[in-house]
Amino acid sequence: MAEKARCGMCDKTFKDADGLTAHNKAKHPEKIPKGRKSPPMSKIRNWGVFIIITGLIILGVFWGVSNSKTLPPIDMKGHVELNPLSHVLKEPMSIAIQKHMLEHADGTGKPGVIINYNCEDYDCEESLIENLEGFTSDYDYVYVAPFKGMDAKIVITKLGKINILEAYDENRVRSFIEGK
């Protein structure tokens, strides 16, 4: 038979320890030791899944941004109604002006063609820039400018089209300009 239990605070007697425990919970909660409850496993699992998914999203965004190439524009969205100072530039042409030149050269003519080069990050032969600038005298709608940080040595753009060259090729440049 179970041993009787007695409440030390109110001097009541109970038939077993379970009865005394129930009594203490109801009548003397301050007597029950406060233990820290561990969170339920489902809560831990849910937070773990949330943290993993958030980490994967952040990693995916970082990977996508770090692997995107920096190239000149081929659209007009965000252009400004300004023209470059010349068809041959020694400083980079702003993206907004490049977009305007793709729309129409010198603000009124046919759609422009822009030849960008990056000789800071790539080894350029001595005559490269001079050869590229020569196209501006053959075609009045061609612009040549450096493009710092571009992920290619030479990039030729026109509205909706791009041609990436890792080496100078006069025939490819001329064919792209003429639309052949």
CATH number at residue 125: 3.40.30
Look at residue 41 and tell me if it is in a domain.
Answer: yes
For residue 164, the enclosing domain spans 95-178
For residues 42 and 113, membership in a common domain is answered with no
pLDDT tens, position by position, 138-148? 999 999 999 99
Q: What is the largest CA-CA distance in the chain?
A: 112
Of 73-82, 83-92, 117-126, 162-171, minimum mean pLDDT range: 73-82
116 and 44 both lie in a single domain: no
Query: Domain tally for the chain?
Result: 2
pLDDT on residue 180: 74
Pairing of strands 161-165, 13-14: unpaired
Sign of CA dihedral 124, 126, 129, 133: negative
Instruction: Flag whether 75 is in a domain.
Output: no
pTM of the complete model beyond 0.85: no
